[in-house]
Amino acid sequence: MSSYATLNGETRLLVIIGDPIAQVKSPAGITESLLDRGRNAVLVPIHVTPADVDGFIHGASLAKNLDSIVVTVPHKFAAYRHCATATDRAHFLGAVNVMRRNADGSWHGDMCDGEAFVNGIRIAGCKPAGSRALVVGAGGAGSAIALALLDAGAAELAAHDSDIARRDALLGRLNTKYPGKAHAGSADPGGYGVIVNATPAGMRAEDPYPVAADKLTREMFVGDVITAPAVTPLIEAARRLGCGTQVGGGMFAAVRDLILDFRSSPGRWRVDRVVRRLAVDSAQSACSRGRRYDSQPGQPPCPACDARCAAQRNSCISSLTCGNLHPHTGAVLAEADKIRAR
């Protein structure tokens, strides 16, 4: 259904703010999901510069039909200052990526980027528990991912950022909760099992790699938060080596539903739709790394294993519903069940 079908004076408003804003994928997806849930609401992208973000949030808060603010780079720390209440992890990080109204009209915030990223890499086959992780970027998303990796049992977390003060502030916070586990890293990924790019590096073709790509090795898992381009040069380099990967779209798929549930169901987080969508992405990622799986005897090959899957990104959904599960997808869904049970 088109979002214009119900657009009227009763439409509830959500906005997503960032600088830049053209790269965001959430307005169409979240609006569609709201309509699917029977909500007369729309998410609108708004380009707000850092110099204007405080004034914008203050002014926008006066709108009585504004229910939520979704926050992207670089406003996640600034938006936190406007929250009268927040979740424990948002307070710990001093940042939010989503805000919803309290009963008195004030804002309640959460930072779910980290949970979304870790859920996504688990579905893609990465096991963060016991790993040595390198997170490049100590901004809002990078801070949330660093905390989530330690929450997930990472044995060691290295943070690297060109802004030394911001990096050290993050390390200080992490070491209050996980003493001795977080330290300063560099652009050298050598010795780490999980590599995360949480910087804008890779959005433009001329951008340098966020880490030394020539030091990546096959046993590493490499994740990126960038959604445009869909596959960054870093992820391409990792896939050429056979590394496990997660693209920014995988994290976006997870965070979209977490945002919707936070907005509409306080205290209730559902991941069924998230893990099933990520299972599709994970099966396709396996294809891109040249791993093929045979279907059951007498059955046609699963679309996820078709060499053309990159050009047919939606075709793999049939492998999750037709009963013709190949080993990789079956393993992915088993991991999804574990996440649901937590």
pLDDT in tens, 52-93: 999 999 999 999 999 999 999 999 999 999 999 999 999 999
Active site residue 25: no
Distance CA 73, CA 199 (A): 10
| Listed residue (238, 252, 234) closest to 136, CA to CA | 234
Catalytic residue of the set 25, 76, 127, 338: 76
Domains of the chain (ranges; CATH) run 3-111 (3.40.50.10860), 114-251 (3.40.50.720), 272-341 (no CATH)
* 16-27 tens-digit pLDDT: 999 999 988 889
| Listed residue (197, 220, 221) closest to 209, CA to CA | 197
Instruction: Point out which residues pair with 98 in neighbouring strands.
Output: 70, 110
Distance CA 31, CA 53 (A): 23
Phi and psi at residue 132, to the nearest 5°: -100, 120
The rounded percent of the chain whose pLDDT value lies above 90 is 65
* 228-238 tens-digit pLDDT: 899 999 999 99
Distance CA 101, CA 169 (A): 29
The mean pLDDT of 186-204, rounded to a whole number, is 97
